[in-house]
Amino acid sequence: MRRALTWAAATVLVAGVASGAGMMRMVVADLPYARVWEAAVRAVEGYPVERAADGVIVTGRIERPPREGEEAFERVAERVTLRVEASGDRITRVTVEVEAEGRREGSWVPISETEATARAILARLRDAIG
């Protein structure tokens, strides 16, 4: 029984890969779509949610202090979009896209490197799945 549970836990998250600027994907196997959707909603707790329906979660823009690697900016603003799509029986694909801007010398400029935020959202989703 314990071996079966360990195997099941190992198959829950098949992959988390970068798939373009500001976008990462993860495939969740052996869980129903509804459970993955609930985990995705929990993954963006702390963000203001503008939309959460039809497999898409769009957060409002939040401002935060710069993190490591963002020292060139006074503030950073970001918006997250999660897409949760059933890809088959008990297979769900989650796509995280982050749009970010940094405030520098009084102007907001686009930030193309958003992998840290996308990875953090996917980590929260993994934790919410348990």
Q: Cα 44 from chain centroid?
A: 8
- Which CATH number goes with the domain that contains 71? 3.30.530.50
Question: Domain residues for 55?
Answer: 2-129
Closest CA to 43 of 65, 76, 13: 13
Looking at the DSSP bridge assignments, the partners of residue 99 are 79
CA dihedral 53, 29, 44, 65 (to 10 degrees): -140
Q: Which residues contact 106 (CB under 8 A, 6 or more apart)?
A: none
How many other β-carbons are positioned within 10 Å of the β-carbon of residue 62?
Answer: 13
Tens-digit pLDDT string for the chain (130 aa): 433 333 343 344 444 444 455 689 999 988 899 999 999 999 999 999 999 999 999 999 999 999 998 999 999 999 999 999 998 888 999 999 999 999 999 999 999 989 999 999 999 999 999 8
Q: What's the pTM?
A: 0.80
Number of domains in the chain: 1
> Where are the extended beta strands (E) located within 19-117?
23-29, 49-53, 56-59, 62-64, 75-88, 91-104, 107-111
